[in-house]
Structure 1
Amino acid sequence: MMNTTSENLTKEKADYIYQRLRKQITSIDSEACPQSFVFFVFGASGDLAKKKIYPTLWWLYRDGFLPEHICFVGYARSQLTIEKIFQNADKYMKVHDHERDLYKKFLELNHYVCGSYDKSEDFDKLNHEANKISQHTSAHRFFYLALPPSVYGSVSELISTHCRPGAPGWVRLIVEKPFGKDLQSSNILSGHLSKFYAEEEIYRIDHYLGKEMVQNIMVLRFSNRIFSRVWNRDSVAAVKIIFKEDIGTQGRGGYFDEFGIIRDVIQNHLMQILSIVAMEKPRSTTGEDIRDEKVKVLRCIAPIKSENVVIGQYLGDKESKDSERQLGYLDDAGVPKDSTTPTYAQTILYINNERWDGVPFILRAGKALNEKKAEIRIQFRDVPGGMFDENGSKAPLARDELVVRIQPDEAIYLKVNTKRPGEMSYSIEETELDLTYNERYRGVKLPDAYERLILDVFMGSRINFVRSDELQEAWRIVDPILTEIDQKKLPVVPYKFGAAGLPQAFDAAVKHGYVFTGTYVRKDERSASVINSQKEKEKEKAKEKVQS
């Protein structure tokens, strides 16, 4: 769990930091009682609980980052036992042989209650069970809603009405996205929650805010003078924020078709990244100061216009040997055959303030593309003067570009122009100043995003959670174009599973100021096609082995 900042950090320093953080976490366990904290997992039988929440709670428990006096209560409609839930989650828990005794103790702290999501008597029963398990009616309570948005209203109301602890116990409600489907439904949900919870009791999770490189943006910006001086419209030509997946909807088409890529990725993940990249320097690193600045940026962005949007939908690649890649979006069960829901979208935004006036922010997201990648590209303006003449052509130099790769293989690198080695003349080529994490910080474990965020909830830190006014502004920006797509059935551009993207989107980015120049490709990016090819060959061999 420990994330140090240098491979040269001594073991003594690492142990000191680890123990100090553990002490800070466990200091919240101040109640002199058998269990002073209860963590409820609503939707305990679902995929999110199985793949993320229960494994994360185990890892935090294993590493000593949870209070000593704690118990866990799963809740769902399914007739299950806690043993069955952990059997289903077993392959995601990553328990090593030497951890078996500790894991057994963790399992003993877990319980399960079956009940509905809309009946008062079931929540009374849950409250009674929690009091009995914790042996303390005023134990602090965490409620994680890993549930469909359709039941958020009834569940949140019934928790507040029937499951609040007695004084001095407090409540923290953790809500998963999507936070509504549009501005109206989001405002209704926010209004509903505000009737039963104070804003400081609500933790809206966007797991991208827990990622290492997203959290590093502020440090990179505000602790390095070299960047703070050029982080504005005088030096920056364009900002591109990209989210790419190399998988399709894969059986989730029925769910995805209700939302589409703009709601699923751009409105939350990419808009949050934009606000951190573009915000002014906060007064401090406290949660409210940072979130205040994020809201100020979002308020300076006009709603998206249809002329600044390109949307697409993937088709199956019938020539692929991978059966999953042969299927298009409309082939997914649950997707209407006439659906125009976009699986790819590019939107171009402008921030109307002094720092960013005229700089395009290009947000691009897509499924069923050629690779899995999320990154930020800050492209700087051309060098004026034309001093270096490449063979008399007066061809422009490749633009400098700062790249923050969020996933996979976290990295920060700066693309620059240098003299080509060995040449007698001033012959120029592109290269990079590179900070690739798995090379620079070998052996350092980067925590999963959910580890960071659930730990933040225990700490009471709201820096990496979405506030209601942030949410409202993000929906205000995307709501008009969503309405237009839904009501006017705007045409979607078809693209083949495994495509790099849409040419129309690339052309639009160029039109708005992003320049595709140069031929330099990073070594790891250059080898990506080889790796993908190898993966396909391995899949084919595995299938042949099974068939034989």
Structure 2
Amino acid sequence: MTPVEITAEHNPLRHPDDKRLPRIAGPCSMVMFGITGDLARRKLMPAIYDLANRGLLPPGFSLVGFARRDWDDQDFAAVVHDAVKSHARTPFREEVWQDLAEGLRFVRGTFDDPEAFARLAQTVRELDEARGTGGNHAFYLSIPPDWFAAVCEQLQAAGLSTPQPGTWRRVVVEKPFGHDLASAQELNHIIEAVFPADSVFRIDHYLGKETVQNLLALRFANQMFEPVWNAHYVDHVQITMAEDIGIGGRAGYYDDVGAAKDVIQNHLLQLLALTAMEEPVSFTADAVRAEKEKVLASARLPQDLAAATARGQYTAGWQGSERAHGYLDEDGVAPDSTTETYAALKLELDSRRWAGVPFYLRTGKQLGKRVTEIAVIFKRTPHLPFRSTDTVEMGKNAIVVRIQPDEGITMRFGSKVPGTQMEVRDVTMDFGYGSSFTETSPEAYERLILDVLLGDPPLFPRHEEVEQSWRILDPVVQFWNEHPEQIGQYAAGTWGPPEADQLMHRDGREWRLP
């Protein structure tokens, strides 16, 4: 069955053209691998409950957990219940929980056990009959990438990846999508040999955030912004994802990956693509993805990577009022590790719109505050008919899209200071989601899971985007591997190593202080 949309037939009090009407998926279920992991507990299972609480899941929706634990359905239900009570965004309602709990099933097994997948296939068939899931099933792989191939092949062997006519089967893949271009291409080949390309949903949870999507609305729904969104007026763009925490207990994963692969390859390059893309002919998945791919294909690194990139590791310092360990002192990190916890790089786009405009990307752990933002910095006014003392404190105009934690948009511009003299200073105009709308923004995973069930893929990068991202980042990682001694240090609670500031100073610019 295909996704359905609530219309006036379902609610005669609403006009059929009312855009506030939500969409719900048709009958379906989701099979979740990796349900014992932190992501499933903190994000995925609570998101499914929140969707149910908002009335966005179809009657009969079912969730199947697959893991090695010696659980039955009731044990799994208790795990989901605890996760929902601890992490759900919306209030807990007993009647909603009871409806959801009726569709919870658990299958015990390992990823390399054909018999376990045969039991899973039987469970799915039983759900079609008992819960009316209609043969429509999504498989969420919240598991290490090393197991993607094995699980996809087992799904295929058990007949779970091939839908009957009029039904669908989809697979959801969590990042990382490989560790370099070659591995990403191999991974894409394996997955798309089992599932058609339009049935593969690669999750980048940043693309589900409300403010990321509002970036498209800001650009293409407002006449005032698009005419100046180009090299004639823009000086440069800064894209930042800063965290005020260390690696926690993720040393086993993080020390093999580092900041660039963990964040720049996926999150920040996707934000760059949305910032720089041309207006699509429509907001269908193919149209949006085509424009994003053009941006990534046009991106190039400067020849001098030593001058155009910077990296560092945090050392002991103060994060607020708390003393923070250095990276090399974290549990599980080798004392001679050269893995970066901070990464910055400069990119340019070979396109008419952005020729000569540098894009600076940075990310790091244990920085001054938690913030993700896109800052479009404009060129200075070519002529100011004021005395130099009148405008001495003015900076460049800027539009800053704040993605987290306080979602919104800030504009910086010059304004006259009250008084008899002509004195101009920077001021800001601020729009915040929390103060402008009564409805709170859904969590990114709510939107993305619903889009999977609806079969609505514009927010999911396809394999061409993933491979282009690795094409951009691979030379940087290779350069750093060849020069392990070129890694700076920065104290926890500060804004990165001196090398990152030098990267900007060479161009006569400086990082924005969020």
- For residue 192 of structure 2, the aligned residue among 164, 187, 194 is 194
Equivalent residue for 1:25? Answer: 24
Structure 1 residues 96-495: aligned runs within 5 Å = 96=91, 99-135=93-129, 139-162=135-158, 163-164=160-161, 165-303=163-301, 305-317=305-317, 322=322, 325-391=323-389, 395=392, 397-422=394-419, 424-441=420-437, 443-495=438-490
Contact 1:350/1:359, CA 8 A, preserved across alignment: yes
Cα displacement string for residues 436-477 of structure 1 (whole angstroms, at most 9, x for unaligned residues): 222222x22111001111111112111000111001101000
Contact 1:386 1:396 (8 Å CA) reproduced: no
Cα gap change, 1:483 to 1:116, in 2 (>3 Å) = same
How far apart are 1:506 and its partner, in Å? 2.5
Distance in 1 of aligned mates of 2:404 and 2:488: 27
Distance 2:261 2:18 in 1: 39
**C-alpha displacement at 1:94, in angstroms?**
5.5
User: Which AA in structure 2 matches 1:311?
Assistant: R
* Residue 80 of structure 2 corresponds to residue 86 of structure 1: yes
Offset, 1:87:
5.1
Q: Aligned to 1:257, what secondary structure does the other structure show?
A: helix
Q: Which residue, 482, 498, 502 being the options, matches 1:503? A: 498
| DSSP-derived class of the 1:281 partner | coil
Say if 1:51 and 1:16 are closer, same or farther in 2 by CA, change over 3 A: farther
Query: How far off its partner does 1:499 sit?
Result: 0.9
Amino acid at match of 1:466: P
Contact 1:370–1:500 (Cα < 8 Å) also in 2: yes
Superposed displacement of residue 268, structure 1: 0.4
Offset of residue 139 of structure 1: 1.2
Structure 1 contact 360–513 (Cα < 8 Å) conserved: no
Residue 327 of structure 1 and its aligned partner are, at CA, apart by: 1.2
Compared CA separation, residues 427 and 363, structure 1 to 2 (3 A): same
Counterparts in 2 of 1:84 and 1:137: CA distance versus 1, 3 Å:
closer
The alpha-carbon deviation at position 146 of structure 1 amounts to 0.6
Distance 1:249 1:76 in 2: 26
How far residue 370 of structure 1 moved from its aligned partner, in angstroms, is: 1.4
Q: Provide the residue aligned with 1:533 in structure 2.
A: none
What does the per-residue CA deviation read over 1:69-122, in whole Å, with 9 as the maximum and x for residues that have no partner? 32110001222331342255141236746x112212211211111111112222
Q: Say which of 66, 77, 93 aligns to 2:57.
A: 66
Report if the CA contact (8 A) 1:237-1:514 is conserved: no
TM superposition shift of 1:65: 0.5
Q: Unpaired runs of 5+ in structure 1? A: 1-11, 30-36, 526-548
How far did 1:395 drift?
Answer: 4.8
Inter-partner Cα distance in structure 2 for 1:343 and 1:13: 52
Structure 2 counterpart of 1:173, one-letter code: V
Does the 8 A contact of 1:243 with 1:375 survive in 2? yes
Name the CA shift for 1:321/1:354 in 2 (closer, same or farther; >3 Å): closer
Q: Which region of structure 1 is more displaced relative to structure 2, 453-462 or 291-300?
A: 453-462
1:76 aligns with 67
Q: Distance in 2 between matches of 1:493 and 1:294?
A: 33
Q: Secondary structure at the match of 2:249?
A: coil
2-structure distance, mates of 1:280, 1:103: 44
Measure, in 2, the Cα distance between the counterparts of 1:40 and 1:88.
Answer: 19
Distance 1:397 1:387, change over 3 A: farther
Percent of paired sites with the same residue: 35
Q: TM-score, normalised by structure 1?
A: 0.85
Q: Tell me the distance in 2 between the aligned counterparts of 1:287 and 1:395.
A: 47
Residues 200-209 or 88-97, more deviating: 88-97
CA distance in 2, matches of 1:476, 1:303: 10
Q: Is the CA contact 1:138–1:166 (under 8 Å) kept in the aligned structure 2?
A: no
Please say if residues 379 and 401 of structure 1, whose CA atoms lie closer than 8 Å, have aligned partners that are also in contact: yes
Cα contact 2:504–2:511 (8 A) shared by 1: no
Residue type at the aligned position of 2:186: I
Q: Is the alpha carbon distance of 1:386 and 1:133 closer, same or farther for their aligned partners in structure 2, counting shifts above 3 Å?
A: closer
In structure 1, give the amino acid aligned to 2:315. L
- Runs (4+) off by over 6 Å: 12-16
The answer (yes or no) to whether the contact 2:205–2:444 under 8 Å persists in 1 is yes
In structure 2, relative to structure 1, the CA distance for the partners of 1:73 and 1:507 (3 Å cut) is same
Could you tell me how far 1:361 is from its partner in structure 2?
0.1
* CA–CA distance in structure 2, aligned partners of residues 335 and 280 of structure 1: 43
Q: Runs of 5+ in structure 2 lacking a partner? A: 1-12
Match of 1:6 in 2: none
Letter in 2 for 1:292: A
TM-superposed deviation, 1:321:
5.5
CA offset digits 1:230-274 (Å, max 9, x no partner): 111110000000011000001111111111000010110000000
Q: The residue matched to 1:292 in structure 2 has which SS?
A: helix
8 Å CA contact 2:31–2:63 kept in 1: the answer is yes
Q: Structure 1 residues 200, 440: closer, same or farther in 2, change over 3 A?
A: same
Question: Where does 1:48-59 land on structure 2 (aligned, <5 Å)?
Answer: 48-59=39-50
DSSP 3-state at the match of 1:128: helix
Indicate conservation of the 8 Å contact 1:39/1:141, yes or no: yes
What are the Cα deviations for residues 216-242 of structure 1, in whole angstroms up to 9, with x where unaligned?
111111121211111111100000000
Change (3 A) 1:132 1:516: closer
Q: Distance in 2 between matches of 1:15 and 1:94?
A: 30
Per-residue Cα deviation, 1:293-312 (whole angstroms, up to 9, x for no partner): 00011111124634211101
Cα distance between partner residues in 1 of 2:485 and 2:294: 31
d(CA) in 2 for partners of 1:312, 1:365: 10
1:151–1:440 CA distance, 2 compared to 1 (3 A): same
For residue 408 of structure 1, report the CA deviation from its aligned partner: 1.0
Counterpart secondary structure, 1:354: coil
CA distance in 2, matches of 1:15, 1:247: 47
Per the alignment, residue 512 of structure 1 pairs with: 507
Give the AA of the match of 1:411: G
User: How much does 1:17 deviate?
Assistant: 5.1
